[in-house]
Amino acid sequence: MSETAEKVKKIVVEHLGVDEAKVTEDASFIDDLGADSLDTVELVMAFEEAFGVEIPDDAAEKITTVKDAIAYIESQKG
């Protein structure tokens, strides 16, 4: 697992209070991990803070799974 993936999963576990095993790359924040729309806003902010990237609203809307988040962050760090 990449360093980014590990960090993303750790943030998801902390913010959503879910079991680490449930945070697979395909897991959807809302459908699988019990997040609501405000949770996902906060989650994106946490990613921004942790990785020093900026995620504009239109990009944030498309980040619905763990995999989406990892891919977006890696593309920005590029």
Partner 1 sequence: MFPNGAAPRRVVVTGMGIASPLGLGVEHVWKRLLAGESGISAIQAFDVTELPAKIAGQVPAGTKATGGLDLNEWIPVKDQKKMDRFIQLALVAAAEAVEDSGWLPEEEEDRAATGVMIGSGIGGLTTIYDASQLVASGRARRLSPFFIPSALINLASGHVSIRYGFKGPNHSVVTACATGVHALGDAARLIAFGDAEVMVAGGAEAAVCELGMAGFCASRALSTAFNDTPEAASRPWSEDRDGFVMGEGAGVCVLEEYEHAKNRGAKIYAEVIGYGMSGDAHHITAPPEDGSGAFRSMRAALRSAGVAPEQVQYVNAHGTSTFADDVELGAVERLWGDAASGLAMSSTKSAIGHLLGAAGAVEGIFSILAIRDQVAPPTLNLDRPSRETPIDRVAKVAQERKIKVALSNSFGFGGTNASIVFRAVP
Residue numbers at the binding site for partner 1 (CB under 8 A): 15-17, 38, 41-42, 45, 49
**Active-site residue flag, 36:** yes
Which residue out of 19, 36, 57, 58 is catalytically annotated?
36
What tokens appear for 69 in the block? 């988040």
Q: How many beta carbons lie within 10 A of that of residue 65, not counting itself?
A: 19
22 vs 24: CA distance, rounded Å? 6
* Residue nearer to partner 1 on the CB measure, 3 or 37: 37
* Residue nearer to partner 1 on the CB measure, 3 or 21: 21
Crossing angle for the helix pair 66-77 and 37-51, to the nearest 10 degrees: 30
Active-site residue set: 36
